[in-house]
Amino acid sequence: MARIFITGSTDGLGLMAAQLLSGQGHTVALHARNDARARDARAALPDNAGVAVGDLSSITQTREIARQVNDMGPFDAVIHNAGVGYYGRSRVETEDGLSDVFAVNVLAPYLLTALITPPERLVYLSSGMHHSSDTTLRDAQWTRRPWQGSQAYSESKFYVTALAFAVARRWPTTLSNAVDPGWVPTKMGGSSATDDLQAAPVTQAWLAASDDSAARVTGSYFHHQQPRNPHPATQSPDQQDRLLEYCADLTQVHIPAA
Ligand SMILES: NC(=O)c1ccc[n+]([C@@H]2O[C@H](COP(=O)([O-])OP(=O)(O)OC[C@H]3O[C@@H](n4cnc5c(N)ncnc54)[C@H](OP(=O)(O)O)[C@@H]3O)[C@@H](O)[C@H]2O)c1
């Protein structure tokens, strides 16, 4: 049985993946943005291995989350699930002067990857929307363009997919993959979402813990347990290295070589 840490596991797909894995007998540690949400998470999954607390839009708090995770660890797998969407939102600037969509969806997974003792498996939540992305990093914080929430979200999912593949390249003994869970009716997906909610957490749980040979791969992008083609630029080593450099400049933290 595996020990698994899941970010953003108070609600939605993170909580569903936690419940699924716990029901399979795995040991799951949760994450919540604050103490009140940590209480909610404990109530939703009483059989947990601890709850790390901190807001992923803050670099300082994300570093603190990594410290808490290392205190609870080591873990066999980490699912980088937490994310913010775009419906009805204008650009929100974080305490670090970043777009919160970039901070939560890209920079936090980057920092946690760099600072948490490397597990055997890493899973990053992407989206089919990553295909419609500007891939240039020219204005990743949306300070020079009129805000377009859907485009900002798509770009963030492009970058986190490239991050998953960069880690797969950098850490050959770690299995690092990205997942499109489908468009499903969570708080983020909204009530109009048309895909199968029950199927949506299955692939990330499977990649985190299954001994199935199809799940023991790296550098792949999955939808419903099937490999899919990601945006080709996510697989470009140059593109990946530019992203790692950009995140290292923002945080002064590097993802070490294996
Ligand atoms: N739902 C979809 O249709 C869909 C489609 C494609 C990809 N995805 C991806 O799947 C992942 C999970 O999405 P979901 O639909 O389950 O979303 P959700 O229901 O909105 O849940 C998001 C989770 O992330 C947490 N979170 C958000 N911002 C945070 C922050 N600043 N600090 C700490 N925690 C934070 C939330 O905490 P609170 O509960 O406290 O808000 C919640 O636990 C995301 O990465 C999303 O981009 C979803």
- Is the C-beta atom of 179 inside 6 A of ligand 1? no
Asked if residue 230 has a cis previous peptide bond (ω within 30° of 0), the answer is no
Which stretches of the chain are assigned E, i.e. beta strand?
A: 3-6, 27-32, 51-53, 77-80, 121-125, 175-179, 221-223, 226-228
Nearest CA to ligand 1 atom 21: 12
- Is the C-beta atom of 13 inside 6 A of ligand 1? yes
Model confidence at 134: pLDDT above 80: no
> At residue 212, what is the residue type?
D
Task: Say how many Å lie between the CA of residue 187 and the centre of ligand 1.
Answer: 8
Active-site choice (86, 110, 124, 157)? 157
- Is the C-beta atom of 189 inside 6 A of ligand 1? yes
Percent of the chain with pLDDT over 70: 100
- Is the C-beta atom of 12 inside 6 A of ligand 1? yes
Residue 200 maps to a domain: yes
CB 110 within 8 A of CB 255: yes
- Is the C-beta atom of 58 inside 6 A of ligand 1? no
The band of 161, judged by pLDDT with boundaries at 50, 70 and 90, is very high
Burial grade of 128 (CB within 10 A; 0-12, 13-18, 19 or more): middle
Give the domain range for residue 47: 3-251
> What is the helix (H) or strand (E) element at residue 65, kind and residue range?
helix 59-72
Residue that the structure tokens 């400049």 belong to:
249
Residue 258 maps to a domain: no
In the chain, the number of structural domains is 1
Strand partners, 53: 32
Please choose, from the candidates 247, 96, 95, the residue with its C-alpha nearest in 3D space to the C-alpha of residue 167.
247
pTM of the model: 0.98
pLDDT one-digit tens code per residue, 166-203: 999 999 999 999 999 999 999 999 999 999 999 999 99
The band of 223, judged by pLDDT with boundaries at 50, 70 and 90, is very high
Residue 157 a catalytic site member: yes
Residue 256 maps to a domain: no
Please choose, from the candidates 69, 71, 77, 48, the residue with its C-alpha nearest in 3D space to the C-alpha of residue 112.
69
Model confidence at 88: pLDDT above 80: no
Task: Say how many Å lie between the CA of residue 13 and the centre of ligand 1.
Answer: 7
Q: How many angstroms separate the CA atoms of 28 and 3, rounded?
A: 6
Residue 257 maps to a domain: no
Overall average pLDDT of the 68-88 stretch: 94
pLDDT one-digit tens code per residue, 42-61: 999 999 999 999 999 999 99
What pLDDT, on a 0 to 100 scale, did the predictor assign at position 133? 78
Residue 27 maps to a domain: yes
Over the chain, what is the mean pLDDT?
A: 96
Overall average pLDDT of the 115-139 stretch: 94
Report CA-CA distances (Å) from 27 to 32, 62, 72, 139, 157: 17, 22, 11, 40, 28
The band of 135, judged by pLDDT with boundaries at 50, 70 and 90, is confident
Residue 125 maps to a domain: yes
> For a substitution probing ligand 1, which of 30, 35, 57, 81 has the most ligand atoms within 8 Å of its CB?
81
Which residues, other chains included, contact 211 with Cβ-Cβ below 8 Å and sequence gap of 6+? none
Overall average pLDDT of the 121-130 stretch: 98
pLDDT one-digit tens code per residue, 231-251: 999 999 999 999 999 999 999
The CATH number that applies at residue 118 is: 3.40.50.720
Which residues, other chains included, contact 175 with Cβ-Cβ below 8 Å and sequence gap of 6+? 120, 121, 122, 168, 207, 216, 217, 218
Task: Say how many Å lie between the CA of residue 34 and the centre of ligand 1.
Answer: 15
The band of 257, judged by pLDDT with boundaries at 50, 70 and 90, is confident
Residue 100 maps to a domain: yes
57 CA closest ligand 1 atom index: 31
Residue 118 maps to a domain: yes
